[in-house]
Amino acid sequence: MIRVVVVDDEPLARETIRDLLGRDADVEVVAECATGADAVDVVAETRPDVLFLDVQMPGLDGFEVLSRVVEHHVPVVVFVTAYDRYAVRAFDARAVDYLLKPFDDDRFAEALKRAKKAVESRDLEGRAERLLALVDAPRGPSEARPPRYPARLMVRSGSRLLFVRPEQIDWIEAEDYYSRVHVAGASYLLRASMAELEARLDPDEFARVHRSAIVNLDRVTEIHPDAKGQEVVRLVDGTLVPISRGRRAALERAFRPESARGAARAPGGE
């Protein structure tokens, strides 16, 4: 069953969506909410597969709801609103569809079909992640615990799931609620926040140089100001990545002789 939460401050709108969802035997409406604040709590508690989310509501609007729930759970989102001016922002937030009120049954069925397809895609990712965990699991009694940092990351390329070794990554940038991984001139979307990736990647190999950027330290060639005076990291392929002022010192420390990386690069190092 695909579990759905409906959020709309208009009772008639919630009733309409609930009735249309009730026609699909694969769908279960697990909760309804009339306010954004209630929606944040309900999504964290029920962890639905799909969220039908109104944009304009008293208190928290739909985008504020989404920005808060992603800390706990990221459902597939279909925005529902009477205003078309939010469409671009909705798709920037990775919504699978944007239902403009009033909509007919066929248009709703199309949105639900897209949402179900997105849930199926996530199920595929879940199976791939379990396979990846098995591949990276300890193989003998001498390995009491799995490695702290993953040997591979799973990224999406269209309908394919690819497995990338961390050392292959050039840099990572924030993209809305996700991250974009750059590998040898190609880029892939990863369903993880920058904070999650910073915690998962080896700090001896990667550094977060900006709130929206993580770099592979082996790809760094120099630090210098750009034409506007903003300090940037230059990577081996010529990419320029901005450095926030508070993160420069940490980046420099990673290359000092007393650090693990600095020792490896110092004269006579391995």
Q: What is the pLDDT of residues 18-53, one digit of tens each?
A: 999 999 999 999 999 999 889 988 988 898 999 999
Contacting residues for 144 by C-beta, under 8 A, at least 6 apart: 138
Q: What is the pLDDT of residue 267?
A: 40
Whole-prediction pTM value? 0.51
Stretch among 131-140, 171-180, 183-192 having the lowest mean pLDDT: 131-140
Whose tokens are 């529902």? That residue is 80
Stretch among 61-65, 100-104, 174-178 having the lowest mean pLDDT: 174-178
Cβ 36 vs Cβ 62: under 8 Å: yes
pLDDT in tens, 77-88: 899 988 777 777
Which domains occur in the chain, in start order? 2-124 (3.40.50.2300), 153-265 (2.40.50.1020)
**Tokens (6 digits) for 155:** 């990224």
Which DSSP state fits 268?
T
**Tokens (6 digits) for 147:** 């490695």
**Phi/psi of residue 18, nearest 5 degrees:** -60, -40
pLDDT in tens, 210-268: 888 899 998 988 888 777 778 888 898 888 888 887 777 777 777 765 555 555 554 44
Whose tokens are 């597939």? That residue is 76
Instruction: Read off the pLDDT of each residue in 190-211 and give the average, rounded to a whole number.
Output: 84
Instruction: Read off the pLDDT of each residue in 182-208 and give the average, rounded to a whole number.
Output: 84
Across all residues in the chain, what is the average pLDDT? 79
For residue 155, pLDDT beyond 60: yes
Query: How many angstroms separate the CA atoms of 34 and 11, rounded?
Result: 8
For residue 127, pLDDT beyond 90: no
Cβ 189 vs Cβ 178: under 8 Å: yes
Cβ 85 vs Cβ 56: under 8 Å: no
Q: How long, in residues, is the chain?
A: 270
How open is the CA angle 152-157-162, to the nearest 5 degrees? 25
Q: What is the pLDDT of residue 158?
A: 67
State the pLDDT confidence band at 4, using cuts at 50, 70 and 90.
very high
